[in-house]
């Protein structure tokens, strides 16, 4: 009987700890009306599981994972996600502007400027770097097949290499999520 009570107490304490855990919010690159955009997502599967003294959030079905090393001050320019993936920034810095700046605009100066072109989303910038969940985790889901007008703009302005861990989602399935707002997590 004592063992049964202990198990019930443990289950109740786990449930309380899990329900008190804050939802996970992630910056995502997605597509809207043919443009790559930055959004703040709350994964629908963010029902955390308490295990091994940690709050664990399900990631979803992934295939392969890669370590990527990008040389300092690498300029990519306009790009699209090659597959839907979760990216974790381990070292360095990545600057992402979405949608990619229109002709004549500078990447670093467009944050918060409204676009003149009708239907073009506002251009926003996110700096990804190690540190917090908001700054070091990104879902890239702006495939070229959906962002047909403009992709995102990427460069790695750090003086040291940028190290990423990239995990591809099975069948390019975008994880279920709720869009909390336009723009990145702050």
Asked if residues 37 and 121 have their Cβ atoms less than 8 Å apart, the reply is: yes
Residue 97 confidence class, pLDDT cut points 50, 70, 90? very high
**In sequence order, which residues have a C-beta less than 8 Å from that of residue 137 and are 6 or more positions away?**
26, 27, 86, 87, 88, 89
- Residue 9: pLDDT above 60? no
Which of the pair, 93 or 13, is modelled with greater confidence? 93
Residue 106 confidence class, pLDDT cut points 50, 70, 90? low
Give percent above pLDDT 90 in the chain: 46
Residue 148 confidence class, pLDDT cut points 50, 70, 90? very high
Tens digits of residue pLDDT in 70-87 = 999 999 999 999 999 999
CA-wise closest residue to 78 among 36, 139, 32:
36
pLDDT at 5: 42
d(CA 106, CA 100): 10
Lowest mean pLDDT among 18-27, 104-113, 144-153: 104-113
Burial of 10 (0-12, 13-18, 19+ CB in 10 A): exposed
**Length of the chain, in residues:** 186
Domains of the chain: 23-182 (2.60.120)
| Strand bridging mode 137-140 / 26-32 | parallel
pLDDT at 111: 40
Lowest mean pLDDT among 56-60, 107-111, 120-124: 107-111
Q: What pTM was estimated for this model as a whole?
A: 0.77
Asked if residues 158 and 52 have their Cβ atoms less than 8 Å apart, the reply is: no
């Amino acid at each position: 009987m004592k063992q049964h009570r202990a198990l019930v107490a443990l289950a109740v304490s786990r449930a309380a700890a899990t329900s008190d855990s804050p939802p996970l919010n992630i910056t995502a690159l997605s597509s809207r009306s043919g443009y790559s955009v930055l959004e703040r997502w709350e994964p629908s599967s963010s029902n955390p599981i308490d295990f091994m003294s940690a709050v664990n959030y399900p990631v979803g079905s992934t295939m392969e994972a890669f370590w990527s090393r990008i040389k300092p001050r690498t300029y990519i320019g306009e790009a699209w996600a090659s597959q839907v993936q979760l990216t974790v920034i381990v070292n360095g810095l990545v600057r992402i502007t979405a949608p990619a700046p229109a002709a004549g605009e500078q990447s670093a100066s467009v944050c918060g400027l409204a676009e003149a072109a009708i239907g073009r989303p506002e251009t926003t910038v996110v700096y990804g770097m190690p540190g917090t969940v908001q700054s070091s985790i990104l879902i890239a889901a702006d495939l070229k097949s959906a962002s047909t007008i403009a992709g995102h703009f990427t460069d790695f302005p750090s003086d040291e290499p940028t190290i990423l861990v990239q995990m591809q989602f099975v069948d390019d399935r975008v994880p279920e999520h709720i869009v909390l707002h336009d723009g990145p997590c702050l």
